[in-house]
Amino acid sequence: MSRKMLKFSALTIVLSILLTVFSSCGKNEKKHFVMRTYSTFGEESDLAAYSEIITEYTKDHKNVTINDTTTTQSNSYKMALSIASTYRGANSPDVVYFSSMKDMSELSDFFMTVDEIRADYPKFAAGISEAAIDSAAADDGGRYCIPVRGDWQGIVVNAALFRSSKLRIPETWEDIVRAASHFQKGDVYLFANSLDDSSALMEYLVRGLGGVKSVNSAMEGNPDNCWTQVLEAVEQLDEMRAFPSMPQEAFDYLVSKSDLKNTSQDQLPSAVDLYNSGKAAILLIDNTMCGSINTDIDSQYIAMPQLGTVTSEQTTTAASDYSTSVEPGPLYPKFTANTLPPTQAPNSGSGQTTSVSSYQTGATNALPVSPSDDEEDKSATENGLYVNFSEGFYITKKAYYDSDKREDILDFVEAFIKEQNCIKLCGGEHRVPALASISADSEDKLTDKSNIYNAVIKSVQSADTFIVTTQIHENQFFWNHCSMAVAYMSKGILTKDQALRLISDTQITVADVSKERR
């Protein structure tokens, strides 16, 4: 072989080695890109933790620059208006943290489902509870939302107060009536929440009697017979002084002071204050109130008893178990537990209810509901959890199908569902993590000095499904409207029928209804 040929061969080998090295380096170096994120973590209690998690992420992903747009929950409607319009543009988001968009028809066009991602990455979001992902699914069944945390609500009772009064912790509607009769003789309210804060109670009662279809009937403008029955129950309990007074200023714009009954001009104690002081026996609670409850109180969760008839026979046979008696009365003479409202056909599956007696009371059986057999109440569980995973992460298809972005975007979402980061975003307002399990150390930090919160966490960890309250962001106006209707009915400003009309039409006001012929 000639010397020139040897030199050429050597040069070829060197070039091949260099090309191999450069090619190998190129594969190890990630392409820099700008990740566009939208979120509703703008509240003061969230923003610091959210920013800290992003800072940690960018330290480990130096090829990524985060272009973040964050707003508060109260301004999330502005994001809702802009989200869909941006997807088709060059500046469309890669990752969105937003309310669970159950009825958005374009979800399948823009977002990846968890199951589609897991087809490529089986361990994606493996730490999240499947029940939490299921509960945030869209109406089309697609699991687009990856929840991080949830809000919760329920009912707690002061068990010691019931014991000292020789009353059974309520399991039946008879127990509720009997307790109201007993407590009105003393300086104690049955419920700590006044009727201008009655939306949760209304949902428990309506949903327990007629299922979620009865709730939806009013939201759709045509409340069924269950709503009439519930208003009658609330009206009769109000006459038994089961609820504390409401502040007068809430009614000043409509009627004169002389028209109001049982209304105080004084500064009134909050529901939590009444409960903590032993002046109220039952508290309707949500996660924002949890940290204010006196931990020395023997608080137990109950399932809200279903409406039924109090009969003479029931009162007589149970008399030996109680220190007081109650006059037998027609609280819903048309209904007893486990019967269908007369307006609904048997076997329709839309009004049949499940007996509350199967629910056990106690701190480990959290968050009440009396679930019906309604097909739309499929999320009902034996422990009756009301946990609302109503927000989470969404990954856009445009971002996912970009191979230069995909894994970094998945890492971004995974950063927020790491145990320590998920808990950072939960502790401020006692939200529950969407995690399938958490370590003992994390649980101790999260539930410190709150036996109620501890019980909620444990219940969420063990649940297969959740009952999802209808009191989510987009329905808040409806439920506030319900509370207003019940409050004005209590003051004698509206009749029961007028209150029902107000509930059925959120476009009208109390003044509109009160002017009508009685």
Average pLDDT over residues 275-295: 93
Q: Which two tokens stand for residue 350?
A: 């839309």
> Whole-angstrom Cα distance, residue 183 to residue 518?
33
Cβ 138 vs Cβ 132: under 8 Å: no
- What is the structure's pLDDT at 339? 24
Average pLDDT over residues 510-516: 80
> Whole-angstrom Cα distance, residue 110 to residue 127?
25
- Decide if pLDDT at 158 tops 50: yes
- What is the structure's pLDDT at 312? 34
Mean pLDDT of the chain: 77
Q: 320 to each of 166, 292, 323, 327, 368, how far by Cα in Å? A: 10, 37, 8, 15, 28
Burial class (CB in 10 A: 0-12, 13-18, 19+), 347: exposed
- What is the structure's pLDDT at 67? 93
> Whole-angstrom Cα distance, residue 277 to residue 516?
42
- What is the structure's pLDDT at 57? 97
- Decide if pLDDT at 23 tops 70: no
At 85, the pLDDT band (50, 70, 90 cuts) reads: low
- What is the structure's pLDDT at 276? 96
Centroid of chain to Cα 376: 17
- Decide if pLDDT at 189 tops 60: yes
Which range is least confidently modeled, 122-131, 470-479, 488-497? 470-479
What are the helix (H) ranges across 381-518?
397-400, 406-416, 419-424, 440-446, 451-462, 476-490, 496-504, 510-514
Q: Pick the more confident residue, 340 or 321.
A: 321
Cβ 96 vs Cβ 399: under 8 Å: no
- Decide if pLDDT at 279 tops 50: yes
Kindly state the percentage of the chain with pLDDT values over 70. 72
15's CB contacts (< 8 A; 6+ apart) are none
Tell me: the pLDDT tens digits for 359-412?
222 222 223 333 444 444 433 333 446 888 989 999 999 999 999 999 999 999
Average pLDDT over residues 210-224: 93
- Decide if pLDDT at 20 tops 80: no
Which range is least confidently modeled, 158-162, 196-200, 443-447, 493-497? 443-447
- What is the structure's pLDDT at 102? 74
At 330, the pLDDT band (50, 70, 90 cuts) reads: very low
β-pair partners for 435: 128
> Whole-angstrom Cα distance, residue 432 to residue 454?
10
368's CB contacts (< 8 A; 6+ apart) are 154, 155, 204, 301, 302, 303, 304, 359, 384, 386
Residue given tokens 């127990």 in the structure block: 175
For the four alpha carbons of 19, 23, 24 and 25, in that order, the dihedral sign comes to: positive
- Decide if pLDDT at 10 tops 70: no
CB atoms within 10 A of CB 376: 13
Average pLDDT over residues 339-345: 26
Which range is least confidently modeled, 75-79, 142-146, 286-290, 476-480? 75-79
> Whole-angstrom Cα distance, residue 480 to residue 503?
10
Q: Pick the more confident residue, 456 or 416.
A: 416
- What is the structure's pLDDT at 107? 78
Average pLDDT over residues 30-49: 90
108's CB contacts (< 8 A; 6+ apart) are 140, 142
- Decide if pLDDT at 289 tops 70: yes
- Decide if pLDDT at 347 tops 70: no
Which range is least confidently modeled, 8-17, 32-41, 218-227? 8-17
Q: Which domains does the chain have, with CATH numbers?
A: 30-150+389-462 (3.40.190.10), 152-387+468-514 (3.40.190.10)
At 489, the pLDDT band (50, 70, 90 cuts) reads: very high
- Decide if pLDDT at 343 tops 90: no
At 78, the pLDDT band (50, 70, 90 cuts) reads: low
Q: Which two tokens stand for residue 202?
A: 């209304």
- What is the structure's pLDDT at 89? 67
At 261, the pLDDT band (50, 70, 90 cuts) reads: low
3-class DSSP assignment, residue 157: strand
Tell me: the pLDDT tens digits for 94-152?
999 988 877 777 778 889 999 999 999 999 999 999 999 998 998 888 999 999 999 99
